[in-house]
Amino acid sequence: MAILFDFDGTLFDTSHDIHAAVNQLLKEQNKPAIDYALVRGLVSQGSKAILEKVTELPAEHRARLLEICLEHNFPKSLPFPGIDELLSTLDKKSIPWGIVTNRSTAMTMPILECKGYAKRPHCIVCGDTTDKSKPHPKPLLHAANLLNKQPENCVYIGDAKTDIDAGKAAGMQTVAAGFGFINPTEPVDSWQADYIVNSPADILPWIETWLVD
């Protein structure tokens, strides 16, 4: 089997750095700062959604927002508690794992490199790696191919409905990361994931149960 992870809101908590970047952009545009909670629930939907839904700035500011993120080198972005232990356990059990994210390569690799994660995954599929992005299954199928695994022998873990939709469309087992960047009013149960976890510590026991089954 193989385990594939979404990045923002599943492997890493990037919300504080993205919130800081949004407020710097707003300051540059002479607009008031916004609360962290408004940004956190939208991180998994991407920078376009953040701009459209909470900043009242046009989409052309997206490039500057991403530029600010890179300028600050992600000082507050860290793996969620328990992720390092989970990944180390997967490595010890020789279970390959990878990342499938809608982030562009230019926004994914710098953070992985500065946090020491660039060489750890067995595959990294970004939003521009294939000609489709999630919820289309193509990025996940590409990841399975890179790992030389059949899709039905892969598990995809993510914190957004698009992640679960992509995983199911690819024929993979799906796990909803309930600890991620989810709007409190969003019914995670409605995503119809195979399993919902409330912390990274809950992931491995489910994987081991699935292996036994």
SS3 66: helix
- Of the candidates 6, 17, 159, 165, the residue annotated as catalytic is 6
In angstroms, the CA 201 to CA 77 distance is: 19
- Of the candidates 8, 13, 17, 159, the residue annotated as catalytic is 8
Is 8 an annotated catalytic residue?
yes
Most distant pair of Cα atoms in the chain: their distance: 57
Strand partners, 66: none
SS3 5: strand
Strand (E) or helix (H) holding 39: helix 36-40
Amino acid at site 25: L
Is 6 an annotated catalytic residue?
yes
User: Which sequence positions are flagged as catalytic?
Assistant: 6, 8
